[in-house]
Amino acid sequence: MRPRFSLSSRHSMLYMLITLVLITAPDIHAMNPLTPEEEYVIVHKGTERPFSGKYNRHFEKGVYHCRRCSAPLFNSSSKFEAGCGWPSFDEALPGAVQWIPDADGRRTEILCARCGAHLGHVFQGEGFTPKNTRHCVNSVSLDFQKIPATSQEHRAVFAGGCFWGVEYYFQSAEGVLSTRVGYTGGHTEFPDYEQVCRGTTGHVEAIEILYDPARTDFEKLARLFFEIHDPTQTNGQGPDQGEQYRSVIFYQNEEQRTIAEKLIAHLRAKGFAVATALEPASAFWPAEDYHQRYYERRRGTPYCHIRTPRFE
């Protein structure tokens, strides 16, 4: 388990140096390799020729990911034909995209919130869709993952202590299409790990899951969630203490909330003093790249999360 970061600790600077040298550096090499054209757009903020991109008139069902770091960015349901020559989306996945003023002083640039890859620009007030927003994206900044025609993707967000161990169990669960870890539930926009560990943002370490409802459902995922962490602990898991490690289900709709309440009632009837909170889903801010699929990249297994059957 990770020690909680504290700026008042005499070892905080050493912790930061170790994190940068031993953790961040290897993940730089874990980024997907880029072609010269992709590097021109993604790194050097270039623009591909209009109507030349492979995703300009592409409308399969699925999820568009960042070409450089594979973070999920846009759902196909938000894509529309704007006639501008580039893929257009009226909404990004929560917390997936960052808006910043463009260097030209007129436009707003959009970046991958995880790795900072240049995606394109965002425009508002054009009236193309009811959301009145157009994310104009270069095809070379994207990768597409198709969802089978018989299915669609649903979303679930859980927090149960250190997100490394939580993701370890969910990324291989039946029916899970993709996972990413990040921060949610708080009030600070674009938080980073250091800020969350201070305990002043209100955010918790969490995991966002996209899953295929034809192969699994929210109840199965929630049951797994309650078995891979201790839902009776308050404000922490094991030695990882602090509000950022608390147990929370961020429900997407009333159906998810009802299912979660049913499972909590079941566990309490069995004698478990469940402390898991239920909160409505809010913006999800992806964590730094070195946190993503942590144990998979290091070919390790978690020691802070052990699956314990609780529903037998």
- Supply the pLDDT for residue 152: 55
The answer to whether the CB of 82 falls within 8 A of the CB of 59 is no
- Supply the pLDDT for residue 269: 94
Task: Tell me if 218 is assigned to some domain.
Answer: yes
How many other C-beta atoms lie within 10 A of the C-beta of residue 29?
7
The domain boundary, picked from 116, 131, 146, lies at: 146
Write out the residue range of the structural domain in which residue 193 sits. Answer: 150-298
- Supply the pLDDT for residue 153: 63
The answer to whether the CB of 210 falls within 8 A of the CB of 284 is no
Radius of gyration in angstroms for the set of CA atoms belonging to the chain, rounded to a whole number = 20
List C-alpha distances in Å: 260 to 104, 146, 183, 226, 280.
Answer: 48, 29, 21, 10, 12
In degrees rounded to 5, what are phi and psi of residue 283? -55, 135
Instruction: List the catalytic residue out of 115, 136, 197, 304.
Output: 136
Residues 292, 155, single domain; the answer is yes
Instruction: List the catalytic residue out of 66, 162, 197, 304.
Output: 162
pLDDT along the chain (312 residues), means of 10: 42 37 38 94 96 89 92 91 92 92 94 96 92 95 76 81 90 87 90 90 93 92 94 83 91 94 95 94 86 80 82 80
- Supply the pLDDT for residue 190: 83
- Supply the pLDDT for residue 195: 92
* Active-site residue flag, 136: yes
Sign of the dihedral defined by the CA atoms of residues 278, 162, 192, 63, in that order: negative
Residue 196 to residue 211: CA distance in whole angstroms: 27
Q: What's the domain count of the chain?
A: 2
List C-alpha distances in Å: 264 to 98, 158, 167, 185, 219.
Answer: 36, 14, 21, 20, 11
Task: Tell me if 310 is assigned to some domain.
Answer: no
The domain boundary, picked from 92, 121, 146, lies at: 146
Task: Tell me if 169 is assigned to some domain.
Answer: yes
Paired strand residues for 157: 208, 250
Q: What six digits make up the tokens of 11? A: 């070892």
- Supply the pLDDT for residue 25: 35
Whether pTM exceeds 0.85 = no
- Supply the pLDDT for residue 59: 81
* Active-site residue flag, 162: yes
- Supply the pLDDT for residue 19: 36
How many other C-beta atoms lie within 10 A of the C-beta of residue 261?
13
Residue 107 to residue 102: CA distance in whole angstroms: 5
Whichever domain contains 282, its CATH number is: 3.30.1060.10
- Going by the DSSP 8-state scheme, the letter that residue 31 receives in this structure is S
